[in-house]
Structure 1
Amino acid sequence: MSLKEEFATRNFSIYGQWLGILTMILCFALGIANLFYITRPLIIIMAAVCLASSFLILFIEVPLLLRICPTSAKFDNIIRKITTNFMRAAAYAGMALAQWLTLLDGSGPTSLIAAAVFLTLTGICYLLAGIKGQAFVGSKTLGGAGVAQMIV
Structure 2
Amino acid sequence: MILCFALGIANVFTGSIVIIALSAVCLASSFVILFIEVPLLLRICPTSPKFDSFIRKITTNYMRAAAYFTMGLIQWLTIISRATSLIVAAVFLTATSACYLLAGIKGQAFVGSKTLGGAGVAQMIV
TM range (shorter): over 0.9
- Judged with a 3 Å threshold, the aligned counterparts in structure 2 of structure 1 residues 73 and 84 are, in CA distance, closer, same or farther, namely same
Cα offsets for 1:34-58 (capped at 9, x unmatched): 00011x1110000000000000000
Is the aligned partner of 1:27 residue 2:4? yes
Greater RCO, 1 or 2 (C-alpha within 8 Å, sep 6+) = 1
Equivalent position SS for 1:116? helix
Structure 2's unaligned 5+ residue stretches are none
Q: How does 1:1-152 map onto structure 2 within 5 Å?
A: 24-38=1-15, 40-105=16-81, 108-147=82-121
TM-score by length of 2: 0.93
Equivalent position SS for 1:90? helix
Cα offsets for 1:75-130 (capped at 9, x unmatched): 0000000000000000000000000000011xx31000110011011111110110
Contact 1:96–1:116 at 8 Å: present in 2 too?
yes
Greater share of helix residues, 1 or 2?
1
- CA distance, structure 1, for counterparts of residue 21 and residue 123 of structure 2: 36
- Judged with a 3 Å threshold, the aligned counterparts in structure 2 of structure 1 residues 29 and 148 are, in CA distance, closer, same or farther, namely farther
- CA distance, structure 1, for counterparts of residue 87 and residue 79 of structure 2: 8
Q: CA deviation at 1:149?
A: 8.5
Equivalent position SS for 1:131? helix
- CA distance, structure 2, for counterparts of residue 149 and residue 90 of structure 1: 29
- Output the amino acid matched with 1:109: A
Runs ≥4 in structure 1, deviation > 3 angstroms? none
Superposed CA RMSD: 1.5
Equivalent position SS for 1:36? coil
- CA distance, structure 2, for counterparts of residue 33 and residue 70 of structure 1: 27
Q: CA deviation at 1:147?
A: 2.3
Contact 1:85–1:135 at 8 Å: present in 2 too?
yes
